Amino acid sequence: MMLCYDGKLSLYCFVTASVIAGLPEILFRLEFDNYMSYLQNMWVIHILLYGFLNLLLALAFRGFAYRVAVRATFLGYVFAVGILIFFCSSASWQMFGIYISVLAFFHYSEFLAIAWTNPDTVSIESFILNHSLAYGIAACSSWLEFIVERYFFPTIKEASSISYFGLVLCLGGEVLRKMAIFTAKRNFSHIVQNKKAENHELVTHGVYGFCRHPSYVGWFYWSIGTQLILQNPFCFVAYAITSWRFFHERVLIEELTLLNFFRGQYVDYQKKVGTGLPFIVGYKVEL
């Protein structure tokens, strides 16, 4: 399946923004610093570069294309800045840079995966940047915990086996979720459907042969992995509990819908394959 126009546009913007974000550091390393003495602040350069990129986008695109481009550009720029923080900042900030890159890539790859596999349903919501108020509060809480703990105990935020294990958990969760999307293809949606489409099929092969909800499993472990990267003990516990409750409810709602769509076929599938989420069995019914 070919990548649709909106997917290609987002990919160009994401990659271009990532490259441009790295230019100041590259030029500095090459000692092309005639403008450095004038600005004397890398953050000022990034603000100017990002502002210039947004000006170009406003001139080049309109409507939905502009909304896609500006979000992909933002995520690409943040992704690259996170990498720069990891390589260029003090030890106590390095893993925050990795976290930023992981977060930005996750949200961008959600849009790209939908644009590639199910372009008819792609929308601005496919970036899931505005997932929910609770999601935003959770993200801000993790940033606040990291900053406060780093201020008082900077050494506990330095890279360790815990933070790298969190990175592995995030990468594994990311891969599993995207495998689920690419396996389900047009049968996947960010929104639980309440009406069965004519081409809607029950997917039981690939990663769906190992767990019934691989996309949720991937997201669950990605979520708690982000807090291990930041080494946030309080948010780790809060994320684990909150994510479990969210997916417990989400699985119940989705499986009730799937049982209505596929009836005995889904009951047989339930008997053979678990949800993949710890202590979550899903909606069971005997026919």
Q: Quick: pLDDT tens for 4-14.
A: 999 999 999 99
If you average pLDDT over residues 234-240, what whole number do you get? 98
Q: Which is more confident, 39 or 136? A: 136
Alpha-carbon span 247 to 236, nearest angstrom: 16
Q: Tell me, what amino acid is at 78?
A: V
Question: Domain extents for the chain?
Answer: 1-130, 131-287
Interior/surface letters 144-164, b for 16+ CB within 10 angstroms, e for the rest: ebbeebbeeeeeebebeebbe
pLDDT of residue 40: 58
Burial of 236 (0-12, 13-18, 19+ CB in 10 A): buried
pLDDT of residue 43: 80
Nearest one of 183, 181, 213 to 109, comparing CA atoms: 181
pTM here?
0.94
- Is 32's pLDDT higher than 50? yes
pLDDT at 34 over 80: no
Fold of the CATH domain 131-287: Four Helix Bundle (Hemerythrin (Met), subunit A) (1.20.120)
Residue 78: per-residue pLDDT: 97
| Per-residue pLDDT, 217 | 98
| Band of pLDDT at residue 132, cut at 50, 70 and 90 | confident
pLDDT for 38: 44
The reported pLDDT for the residue numbered 199 is 83
Q: What pLDDT is recorded for position 44?
A: 80
Contact (Cβ atoms closer than 8 angstroms) between residue 114 and residue 186: no
